[in-house]
Structure 1
Amino acid sequence: MIPTNRTLIFFGALLFTLSQAQAQDLPVFSNSDQFSAAQVGQQERKLSTFMMLVALSGLGTSTELSAPHTLFIPTNDAMDQMPQEQYLYLIYPNNRKALIDFVNFHYLPTVMSVTDLGREEEVLTKNGKTLPVTQSDAGNSPRFGGATIIASDIEANDGIIHVVDRVLTPNNGWSFTDR
């Protein structure tokens, strides 16, 4: 059976609503270096919305098999700030290219610790876009593309993860759609 547009919209709205109901504490990781970055993200329920998008994009396996990398994972709280119409657009099967671009915007094809990021003025994402790096208002953590890193240097066996408080978008705008 092929799902109808109505079914896809309902499913997307349900997932979006469920992610908003989850606890809002910071993630805690242990033994993360025994798993890939994608596996670590999938194990933490507070990162489930973004990791579900990774799975829908089909990039979960390629992320696991790629060279060492850095993955910026927005919390469910951060994902909740995404306009619902944008979220629904990304999960619609015909918009897979936009979803892949969205996920790749959170992925650096090199390992960069929070200290390394603090030395940079901008970084190049996997999809070839640059994001500015600045210091947070408190000066204790770099801001990456407008997002503050709230959990840093989580080691995985294929790279490093930083948890961020905001979804990364080009120029802090929602431009992953054709509209």
Structure 2
Amino acid sequence: MKKIEFLAIAFASTTLFSCASSDEMNDTTAMDDATTMSETQVMGGETDDMDNAEGVVVETEVVVPVATIPLATLSLTNSEELNDMFESIDETEQYNLMDLAKKSPNLSTFAYLAEAAGINDDLMRDGDFTLFAPTNEAFSKLSKQDLEMLLLPENRAKLTAILQAHVLPSEVASTQFNSTQRITLSDNRYLPITTTGNNVSIAGATIVVPNVEASNGMLHVVDRVIIPSQDAREGDLR
């Protein structure tokens, strides 16, 4: 059966941190200006009307931070139960994806890094997007060395690329994912999707809170940071 593919947002090439040296981390990759839906069928059905859909792009130049983001400023623990996330919000649809992420203390690190990487405005734009938002504890699963390397100002493009890999240019509910699909990255590489019963994983990052509706798309909370390996055709987090 042919794999159904769809594109991540403006994804640039990255390497698996556990296999990368400091020099490799410092070699940042320029971001693509835009991505478009290229398949005739994506997720739940035909998408002829989406063939020319534009991906999220950073429309204005963002100044590179002048200093390293201190690791101590990031929370690497979840302060509320996963089942309680967004429960106090009567209508999540009144908030865009970025503002909705800020509503949960479990997503404070993602929200902070999204602003540092300059993709926060994109997550506030009108549209229909899907955001895989890693919890604070998801970032704690990266090694301290890898995380500190990612926070260096010279690696801002790499941070942006990784976070943009968590955004799709169409709204997709968790029930629409299945194991015949994959997320296409640059250079024809991809991240696999695995479904087992009601569990959905994107390259090893499992959706732990699904289908939180925002004004401009759908938010799924995931338990790992999605980082493609050197062999992105395998796409496993190691």
The answer to whether TM tops 0.5 is yes
Q: Does the CA-based 8 Å contact 1:113-1:160 persist in structure 2? A: yes
CA–CA distance in structure 2, aligned partners of residues 158 and 120 of structure 1: 26
Instruction: Name 1:71's counterpart in structure 2.
Output: 131
Alignment of 1:1-179 (within 5 A): 8=68, 12-16=70-74, 19-23=75-79, 25-26=81-82, 27-29=84-86, 30=89, 31-65=91-125, 67-118=127-178, 120-124=180-184, 130-136=190-196, 139-170=197-228, 171-173=235-237
Q: Given the two structures, how large is their TM-score scaled by the length of structure 1?
A: 0.80
Q: Deviations over 1:98-148 (max 9, x none)?
A: 011011111111111001113642123699852211113xx2222111111
Structure 1 position 20, deviation (Å)? 2.9
One-letter code aligned to 2:215: N
Shift of 1:55: 0.7
Q: Give the alignment's Cα RMSD to 1 decimal.
A: 2.5
Deviation string for 1:44-101 (max 9, x for gaps)?
Answer: 1101111111010011002211531100011111111111222222222221110110
User: Distance in 2 between the 1:127 and 1:68 partners?
Assistant: 25
Given residue 141 of structure 1, which amino acid in structure 2 is its aligned partner?
Answer: N
Unaligned runs of 5+ residues in structure 1 are 175-179
Task: Give 1 or 2 for the bigger CA radius of gyration.
Answer: 2
Listed as ranges, the gaps of 5+ residues in structure 2 are: 1-64, 229-234
Correspondence for 1:177: none
TM-score normalised by L of structure 2? 0.62
More helix by share: 1
Number of aligned pairs?
A: 164
Distance 1:96 1:129, change over 3 A: farther
Task: Determine if contact 2:80/2:106 at 8 Å carries over to the other structure.
Answer: yes
Residues 24 and 77, structure 1, Cα contact 8 Å, conserved in 2: no
Contact 1:117–1:142 (8 Å) recurs in 2: yes
Identity of aligned residues (%): 28
Indicate if the aligned counterparts of 1:69 and 1:107 stay in contact, CA closer than 8 A: yes
Kept after mapping to 1: 8 A contact 2:177/2:195: no
